[in-house]
Structure 1
Amino acid sequence: MSDELVLGGDLGGTSTRIVIADSEGNVVGRGAAAGGNPTSHPASAAANFGQALHAALTGLDAAAVKSAVVGMAGGVALQRPEVAAQFEAAWTGAGLRSAPQYIGDLEVAFASGTPEPDGTVLIAGTGSNVGLVRNHQLQRTAGGHGWLLGDDGSGFWLGREAVRSVLESLDLREPLGLLGQSVVQAILPGRDEHAAAQREGYDALRDQLVMTVNSRPPVMLAELAPTVITAYAQHDKTAQMLVKRAAELLTETAARLKTASDIGPMVLAGSVAGESSPVGQLIREYFAGDVRTARDGVGGATWLALGALDTALATPQTHARLVD
């Protein structure tokens, strides 16, 4: 078994990451590319997946990969034959022979936060989702319905609500606060919102914002989340309201699954739920107790691949080696 390799993948809205490891949990190959979520990036996800696979396998024998677990956000898109065919072509095109096991990003995030088999996981990054895990397998979910139908409290939600707050101010002919000014600068770089409002009128500025936002992929609104966090740190009232509401929405979603009697830790994952994020800090205050942070999603997927190859290989020691 010492010559056998395992592959872990973490395909999200922002990036695609692949890790190759030996049977002792030592990383021997890494690859990365742009977003691999086939729902939010339908035109490029499979190509990005292939690019990351090729990079990770450089100098390695792809045929030696005997177990593969790939965590994927938006994996429901693989139910469409044309999408599945694109990912299969990327896989075989990299010389891989053992079929991958595609799982949800919730399972990967939980495995990256703890080697324990049971618990709850909350992801808040570009999107948001909550899952109940038993014996390393996802049992139930809450949320995770995508930007159009859900993702409450996510980076997308923060960005959308920030833009909506700007549009409301323009409708009311109110001056823009710190967050509003930052949002305008992010969407329309170099534009002086005060001069534009006086010269062209509030309606013209509002219409240009709406037109520009609608000309881009909707998921790009998540790029405004750091703008909200920065304004929050500078005590902008609107940003503080949005951060508090995001935390409330995420804890409400988690409460659909998690009860006081649940066993195992709560694992938090994603940039919005991170330890340095004010949203994540509020969530941690709410749940308290055994709350852990997902360290490396692709490491968690690789650890699960080790367990799929041989359960005896999925030890706390190999877990620490891959995710810390």
Structure 2
Amino acid sequence: MSTEHKERLRGLVEAEGFEAFGVAPVDVELRRSYYLEWISGGQHGEMAWLERNNDRRLEPEQIIPEARSIICVGLNYYQPDPPRRGRIAKYALGKDYHKAMTQKLKRVCRAMREEFGSAQRPYVDTGPVMEKPIAATAGLGWQGKSTILLNKDNGTWLFLGFIFTTLELPADEPARSHCGKCTRCIDACPTNAIVGPYQLDARRCISYLTIEHKGAIPLEFRRAMGDRIYGCDECLDVCPWNRWAKQTQETKFAARPYPDLTEMLRWTEDDFAETFAGTPIKRAGLSRWRRNVCVALGNIGEADDLPSLREVAASDDALAAEHALWAISEIEARS
């Protein structure tokens, strides 16, 4: 198809509020050997789904055999952290981005089918898609030393979405790296999870530990977690490319108000489900949420927080109880 058709697609994408747009060929070059070594070394931790469907993950042309192009889009989600105890990663401050972006992409797909008669399928962090390398090939940005995609206009704060389409579109030039000698993301990581430039050991990452990890937080990482209760933005926050970041215009991502940490420790399953309905946090479950809150209180809590922690320590939630006992000992030691 012509450049004119591609510009029409750009207009459809921008009308949905996306800030970045690019096209990659379906036979995109991926870091196959590195990925397989990363998996075989167990650095993906308990994320077993990353071991499956790697024939399609590493060869995107197998996902939809008739597809000819991959449309890549980015949606800015930056906003300042709200002033409250307990930090939540910016991507999870508001509503679930999967649903918000999928709705937008489905509207683009519908318009493409009506205008061009093409077939397409959208992906938002779903399916076996190597998102960051594909987005880099489409010119949306480059993978920084933290492995996060960096965009010149939006820094580290882009949600990525993809449309596999039967349209054969002109591909964009891959983005060049602009990290230079900077190592701020590596130096800032509280748990040294970025084990080398462009190398992440998920088992050490606070995002992994607070979201994906199902068991106890290893003792060696608890103090390093600080007041983080869901995810971690440390390597993103320090990136110099964020000096041009602008606050998101997507109202669905606006930070929700939550009660203080001690009140959340007293929640029932229904309280947790109702409060976090429609957000990424709901998938963590109440027990893991309590676990994370206990660790945060162990690091920033005061004597007034001890009664709530003692209630958790005496509960039948074994996972949370162990972390509550740790938090109590940490607060008492500081007092």
Give the TM interval when normalised to the shorter protein. under 0.3
Question: TM-score, normalized by length of structure 1?
Answer: 0.25
Question: TM-score, normalized by length of structure 2?
Answer: 0.24
